[in-house]
Homo-oligomer: A and B are copies of this chain.
Amino acid sequence: MNNTIIFGHQNPDTDSICSAIAYSTLKNKLGHQCEPIRLGLINPETQFVLDYFAVKAPRLLHHVSKEAENAILVDHNEPQQSAIDINEIRIVEVIDHHRISNFESKEPLYFRIEPVGCTATILNKLYKENQIEIDKKTAGLMVSAIISDTLLFKSPTCTKEDIDAAHELSKIAEVSLEKYGLDMLKSGANLKDKTVEE
């Protein structure tokens, strides 16, 4: 049994999947025992990202409390967006960029919300604060999350921090933001269209 599982919200988007993987990687490099998991199906855009960087999708779980002692939430903080049995596991950390709602803790925890466009932008800071280098695959997942959440910097929630992080990460991942970013966003859109047509 893993000590700690890390997951994003139900109906996971690219940020929820990629940030769970990227934060697990950081925590494990710092000596923890973490596993990223997911609470729902991988969408076509996220599948494009995982294929591109040759990364396996996290395990799918609906109930989490029997799987680990501790949970870390990324990309969400509201219990109603989380695992069904979220109240039966100890939440030790939350890393998110959404408004705070209905979150209650019995004990102090590490709870870090920042008003930026994507969870991965906060993770980029956490890697730096912990002086851990980001490997190429992880940088690829992180830049994809930022492209997805900010619609390649076009969403109103996008901040200068997101743009700066995406540029840094795209260099490490060796992808062009323009070319890769559009291909990625299109892959999600195209496949969605197909499903509608079929």
A contact residues vs B (CB 8 Å cutoff): 97-116, 125, 129, 157
**What is the copy number of this chain in the assembly?**
2
Given A100-B103, A103-B100, A129-B129, A111 and B112 touching (CB < 8 A)?
yes
Q: B101 and A108: CB pair below 8 A? A: no
Q: How far is the CB of A31 from chain B (nearest CB, A)?
A: 14
Interface of A is mostly: loop
Closest to A102 in B: B104
A176 to B136 Cα, complex, angstroms: 47
A98 to B112 Cα, complex, angstroms: 13
Partner of A99, one of B97, B98, B99, B106: B106
Q: A99 and B103: CB pair below 8 A? A: no
Partner of A108, one of B99, B103, B106, B110: B99
* A97-B108, A99-B107 known, 9 other contacts, Cβ within 8 Å: A98-B108, A99-B108, A100-B109, A108-B113, A108-B115, A109-B113, A110-B113, A111-B114, A125-B129
Q: A115 and B110: CB pair below 8 A? A: yes
A113 to B112 Cα, complex, angstroms: 6
A125 to B126 Cα, complex, angstroms: 12
A105 to B77 Cα, complex, angstroms: 12
A169 to B15 Cα, complex, angstroms: 38
Closest to A107 in B: B99
Partner of A110, one of B102, B106, B109, B114: B114
Closest to A99 in B: B105
Q: A111 and B110: CB pair below 8 A? A: no
Which residues of B have CB within 8 Å of A129?
Answer: 125, 129
Q: How far is the CB of A119 from chain B (nearest CB, A)?
A: 11
A103 to B98 Cα, complex, angstroms: 13
